Structure 1
Amino acid sequence: MGYKSIIKETDFLVREIKSLNPLERAEQVQLWEYYRVGLTYSSNAIEGNCLTETETKIVIEDGLAVSGKPLRDHLEAVGHAAAFSLLLAVTSSTKINEEAIKKLHHIFYHRIDGENAGVYRNVKVIISGSGHLLPSPEKVPGLMKRLVARLPEIEKNHPIIAAADLHTEFLNIHPFVDGNGRVSRLLMNMVLVKYGYPAAIIPPARRMEYISAMMSSNSGNFTEIRTLVAEMSRESCRDYLRMFAQ
């Protein structure tokens, strides 16, 4: 099934969600905690973090350390959860601009590397296992300015397409020394939430499919990543209805 058909299904589910009674405050908190843990776990796991979902929940909700797991994995969990909380707080009132992007990265990354948190890279970076050449550091500021300037045009598309495309174009710039994948998926969800869609979680089980979609995007083919994001958005809508449609 193509992404356009999946988007139609998702829009139907979103209309169902909007027809439900508004969530109580406690239910809203429960929903965002579900996404905060799920997205933190999945987004970190895609990048090699070895915390399980249960361990991620323990780290970010209880503030406890998991024996035998690397310190960095704990810091990534805490940082990502904090960045997601910021996303929820500012999505309705903040434009996606360079300042917002740098702030997201800083909140995620400053516990790991304070010097490079929220700062565009000044070194070359490579994606292991990929022959795709990323822009030189000298080009990053200009490319980011152009991407942000193009956002109004990107957001003329359906929100799911806009979310997938922003995520992908950002990732193809790779503006930071590390943490680009995590920030790209936060930006993706910033767009979805802004337009009334649940946050979309790309599970670690679909990591290879996700990598393949990103490799296709390097040559300008966004079909695979749009399809994957549409599928995950649809699944999030189904999750919402399973939890709250009585």
Structure 2
Amino acid sequence: MVNSASLIISPEILSLIAEIDEFKGAWRALGQLAPEQLSSLKKVATIESIGSSTRIEGSKLTDKQVEELLSNLEIQKFTTRDEQEVAGYSTVMNLLFQSYAEIPLSENYIQQLHSLLLKHSEKDYWHRGTYKKSPNHVEAFDSTGKSLGVVFETASPFETPIRMQDLIEWATHAYTIKDLHPLLITAMVIVEFLAIHPFQDGNGRLSRILTTFLLLKAGYHYVPYSSLESVIEQSKEGYYLALRQTQGTLKNERPDWQPWILFFLRALQQQKRRLEVKVEKENLLLMQLPELSLQILQFIESRGKATIGDVVTVTNANRNTIKKHLETLVSTKRLQKNGIGKGTWYTI
């Protein structure tokens, strides 16, 4: 069972929670951005999240390579382990973004998410969605994928089901009675989950997916539009250090929650600040766009895709004028051009 009795709420923790919650409230207004803006922010953040989270575990795919892979997911055959991990991560992220409200926090659903996460990983088929049968440990990797050694000794296979049951029961109760702030509960769930390391592989990636899931469940609806995983990747040494400092005390009578909770809240602060900058930039760009360009964007967003002919029909504008607007929108990365010649179409 998670021992929260020793948790000290410092002034910095209070200040961080207040700043994050203020943005959570402000997002109700900021989130009224045009659909094409939100779609663009979400796409970029999703690519960053998948790329960063898999690289933290040793993948070598760049964000550009991740983007190319995601645009061809229908091929359903991924030759390398890096590609398989990206495809699985994308599947789970899309599911959570669409259905988080209907998915309860339970062992069964965590196991299902793990199974989906490793759906394309050929060497992991034997342990998808099932708790570990052999001891495992946490390893850290540098930017080249080289192991930095063992970070933490995890729960034994025998202990794992008991500790997972206790963790989910504690979290469900804590979120319900609201004695602790949901951000603190989420931080404690994640650090304990990683201390247990319940699955043979994929625990790090799944912990970051669970973070997104729990934040969405707690009402932090801006999370899909800014990558927390990217923040963590850029402070990877601090991430592992904070985990190690808190996890090393979890079996003590008075665990030291401060290192991990401070890292977690500072990462959330950085995530929301990045989103603030992006939203401001999007609004400035929109203000600078001609009316016809805005009309084109709104039309393509509503249709999903459109050809030059479609846009001409709807706007009644000159074809050459439409072409120039489309070229500008593509060059500023507000639209994507697909196909060639007469078969060309545009998407957000």
Bigger share in strand = 2
Aligned to 2:86: 77
Find the partner of 2:161 among 141, 146, 149: 141
Contact 2:96–2:213, Cα closer than 8 Å, also in 1: yes
Aligned: 1:161 with 2:181: no
Alignment deviations for residues 15-66 of structure 1 (CA, whole Å, 9 cap, x no partner): 222233624443343333233211111111111111112211211234499x
Aligned to 1:241: 276
Q: Tell me, which stretches of 5 or more residues in structure 2 are unaligned?
A: 1-10, 140-148, 250-254, 284-348
Q: Residues of 1 paired with 2:239 and 2:263: CA distance? A: 7
Corresponding residue pairs, total: 243
1:10–1:189 Cα change, 3 Å: same
Query: For the pair shown, which has the larger CA radius of gyration, 1 or 2?
Result: 2
Aligned to 1:116: 127
Alignment deviations for residues 175-217 of structure 1 (CA, whole Å, 9 cap, x no partner): 1000001111111111111222233334322111000011012
Larger relative contact order (CA 8 Å, sep ≥ 6): 1
Q: CA deviation at 1:84?
A: 0.9
* Paired letter, 2:108: E
Contact 2:194–2:207, Cα closer than 8 Å, also in 1: yes
Aligned: 1:60 with 2:64: no
Q: CA deviation at 1:96?
A: 1.0
Structure-1-length-normalised TM-score: 0.89
Contact 2:232–2:239, Cα closer than 8 Å, also in 1: no
Aligned identity (percent) is 24
1:53–1:222 Cα change, 3 Å: farther
Q: CA deviation at 1:224?
A: 2.1
Q: Residues of 1 paired with 2:108 and 2:81: CA distance? A: 25
Structure-2-length-normalised TM-score: 0.64
Find the partner of 1:208 among 234, 237, 261: 237
Aligned to 1:186: 209
1:38–1:205 Cα change, 3 Å: same
Q: CA deviation at 1:144?
A: 1.1
Q: Residues of 2 paired with 1:57 and 1:185: CA distance? A: 19
Q: Residues of 1 paired with 2:150 and 2:173: CA distance? A: 29
Q: CA deviation at 1:93?
A: 1.6
Q: 3-state SS of the aligned residue for 2:86? A: helix
Find the partner of 2:102 among 83, 86, 93: 93
* Paired letter, 1:140: T
Q: 3-state SS of the aligned residue for 1:163? A: helix
Aligned to 2:297: none
Aligned: 1:225 with 2:260: yes
Contact 2:107–2:168, Cα closer than 8 Å, also in 1: yes
Aligned: 1:32 with 2:61: no
Alignment deviations for residues 81-127 of structure 1 (CA, whole Å, 9 cap, x no partner): 11111111221122110111011111111221111111111111122
CA RMSD of aligned residues (A): 2.3
